[in-house]
């Protein structure tokens, strides 16, 4: 009983505060346009978009000898990368960044659409489900794109370079008796 009373009081206080601050009950028709978009950031059409890297993905990939193109390029001299390898990794990195930037723009647009729906009091459960599903799909595509770049970077390196990469990064390969014929395990 006490729990229900506290929940009801909390809800009532939230509702009262919302009305007092004028945020609940405001409709897009009576909301000034500059106020509706005030807290929704936008970017110029060609601005670079930085999409954060999932450190878990990068760590898991690199510990298992799937370097990020950028990491391999940073270690290029220590790995003795030849010029064609460097060019291949630079191109891979540039292509990956361009695709991620384009997907990042779309992701930000969906995030703005979701924020605008709340700001305009034009939201319901089905719209939340649709918008968050699109956001999650774009986020998944960005993550997959980054992880695929690790696969391509590994293909650009020789087995000796991959073992040197592991040594430089402080990663330990599997014990010899567990590796079988694969020196990279």
pLDDT in tens, 50-98: 767 777 778 889 999 999 999 999 999 999 999 999 999 999 999 999 9
Q: What is the dihedral of CA 103, 124, 35, 22, to 10 degrees?
A: -150
User: pLDDT (tens digit, 9 = 90+) per residue, 87-143?
Assistant: 999 999 999 999 999 999 999 999 999 999 999 999 999 999 999 999 999 999 999
- Say what the pTM is: 0.68
d(CA 69, CA 96): 9
**Number of Cβ atoms within 10 Å of the Cβ of 145:** 16
Query: Both tokens of residue 133?
Result: 């599903």
**CA dist list (Å): 81 to 85, 151, 161, 165, 177:** 6, 17, 8, 11, 29
**Domain coordinates in residue numbering, the chain:** 1-30, 33-172
**CA dist list (Å): 52 to 5, 25, 70:** 43, 36, 14
């Amino acid at each position: 009983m006490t729990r229900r009373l506290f929940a009801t009081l909390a809800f009532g206080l939230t509702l009262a505060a919302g009305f007092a601050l004028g945020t609940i009950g405001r409709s897009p028709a009576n909301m000034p346009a500059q106020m509706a978009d005030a807290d929704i950031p936008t970017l110029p059409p060609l601005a670079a978009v930085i999409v954060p890297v999932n450190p878990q993905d990068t760590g898991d990939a690199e510990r298992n000898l799937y370097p990020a193109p950028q990491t391999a390029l940073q270690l290029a001299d220590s790995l003795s990368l030849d010029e064609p390898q460097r060019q291949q990794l630079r191109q891979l990195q540039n292509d990956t960044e361009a695709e991620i930037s384009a997907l990042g723009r779309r992701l930000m647009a969906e995030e703005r659409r979701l924020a605008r729906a709340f700001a305009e009091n034009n939201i319901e459960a089905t719209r939340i489900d649709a918008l968050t599903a699109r956001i999650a799909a774009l986020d998944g595509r960005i993550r997959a794109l980054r992880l695929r770049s690790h696969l391509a970077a590994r293909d650009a390196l020789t087995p000796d370079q991959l073992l040197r990469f592991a040594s430089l990064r402080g990663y330990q390969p599997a014990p010899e008796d567990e590796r079988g014929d694969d020196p990279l395990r």
